[in-house]
Amino acid sequence: MFPKNAWYVACTPDEIDEKPLGRKICGEPIAFFRGADGKAAAVEDFCPHRGAPLSLGKVVDGKLVCGYHGLEMGCDGKTIAMPGQRVRGFPPIRSFPVIERYGFIWIWPGDPAQADPAKLHHLEWAENPDWAYGGGLYHINCDYRLMIDNLMDLTHETYVHSTSIGQKEIDEAAPATKVEGDHVVTSRFMENIKAPPFWRMAMRANGLDDEADVDRWQICRFSPPSHVMIEVGVALAGKGGYNADPQYKASSIVVDFITPETETSHWYFWGMARNFKAHDKALTASIREGQGKIFGEDQEMLERQQQNLLLYPERNLLKLNIDAGGVQSRRVIDRLLAEERGAAAPASTTAL
């Protein structure tokens, strides 16, 4: 149950620089590669000749050459050539709209006619030299919506990430959730607290006294289909918190792109964008490593939660105030799904 008419992150550019990449997205096996002029492309990972996965082949002059019998596939899903064959009558395979931007390859798994580049999630920091980004990819065996729930309710940091970014005060600060069209924002503010270990590290990196009292904030922003950007940070207490002058702050954006693989698994692209010491690559690597460890702590919980929900599919879960971010995000997704079904129905009727 995932919207198909949407831009999802499929991979990072480096994953297709050397050779094609096979990755299942929204239930479909897809081969990603660089076509003519290095432009990213995506086609079904299914050779029209004998069904071999095209991603096991290689790219030659911008064509995806099947590694089984040499069929040459174009970026548009049409066979360009095959040794000793006339290929004009070969059935095409699906190709998918793809955009390379902001350091990611994005795919539109649904109706290509609706694949408007303007609908791509805008990442202002990604094109700003004052910002640095580092991130990674995890494969998680649970419904992508459980990850959205996870990220829209950071109460879990106190428990899952108790040694790094969790702290008791998160529990004590009730979050506020508001819905703005297709966007959901859940915010939490804590004042006059001590920073947890991760933020002490960031304060030191910013030249701030890591023993000082701070105001801390977490602003989780859901955008369809399944992106969660979280503004996080601390400022020296009483300097304005989220709105404090940068000299008193350590802050960043937690970046989460959650791409469904199947109904019960997803690709989790996580990372952090920051606007301090943007050119310090060692710091980028160090933050990335630390974040990777922290975000890895969620995996067992999410996968075991998924197993429990599969065992008891009829049970109703609680929807508390802390769950409002996830609950509202799912409502947006449900509405998009209904719209896709509604749009699909007449078309299908016409086809009859």
Q: Which of 113, 118, 282, 318 binds a copy of itself (CB under 8 A)?
A: 318
Binding mask 7-36 for a copy of itself (x = CB under 8 A): ----------------------x-------
Residue 52 engages a copy of itself in binding (rule: CB under 8 A): yes
Residue 187 engages a copy of itself in binding (rule: CB under 8 A): no
| Angstrom distance (rounded) from CA 74 to CA 69 | 15
Side-chain-side CA neighbours of 198 within 13 Å: the count stands at 26
Residue 215 engages a copy of itself in binding (rule: CB under 8 A): no
- Classified as helix, coil or strand, 14 is helix
Q: How far is the CB of 335 from a copy of itself (least distance, A)?
A: 22
Name the phi and psi angles at 227, rounded to 5.
-100, 140
Q: Which of 17, 127, 263, 300 binds a copy of itself (CB under 8 A)?
A: 300
* Count of chain residues binding a copy of itself (CB under 8 A): 50
Strand ranges (E), the chain: 8-11, 21-25, 28-34, 40-44, 58-60, 63-65, 72-73, 79-81, 95-96, 98-101, 104-107, 132-140, 176-180, 183-194, 213-223, 227-236, 249-262, 265-274
Segment near a copy of itself (CB under 8 A); pick from 5-13, 147-155, 225-233, 240-248: 147-155
Residue 320 engages a copy of itself in binding (rule: CB under 8 A): yes
Residue 263 engages a copy of itself in binding (rule: CB under 8 A): no
Pick from 27, 73, 19: nearest CA to 49: 73
Task: List beta partners, residue 266.
Answer: 140, 260
Residue 46 engages a copy of itself in binding (rule: CB under 8 A): yes
Residue 194 engages a copy of itself in binding (rule: CB under 8 A): no
Q: How far is the CB of 29 from a copy of itself (least distance, A)?
A: 7
Pick from 11, 271, 346, 305: nearest CA to 147: 305
Sign of CA dihedral 347, 4, 325, 220: negative
**247 or 307: CB nearest a copy of itself:** 307
Q: Which of 15, 62, 78, 85 binds a copy of itself (CB under 8 A)?
A: 85
Residue 294 engages a copy of itself in binding (rule: CB under 8 A): no
Contact in structure between 275 and 131 (CB atoms under 8 Å): yes
| Angstrom distance (rounded) from CA 291 to CA 134 | 9
- Where do contacts with a copy of itself occur on this chain (CB under 8 A)? 29, 45-46, 48-53, 56-57, 65-70, 82-85, 90-91, 149, 153, 155-156, 158-160, 171-172, 174, 300-301, 304-305, 307-309, 311-312, 315-318, 320-323
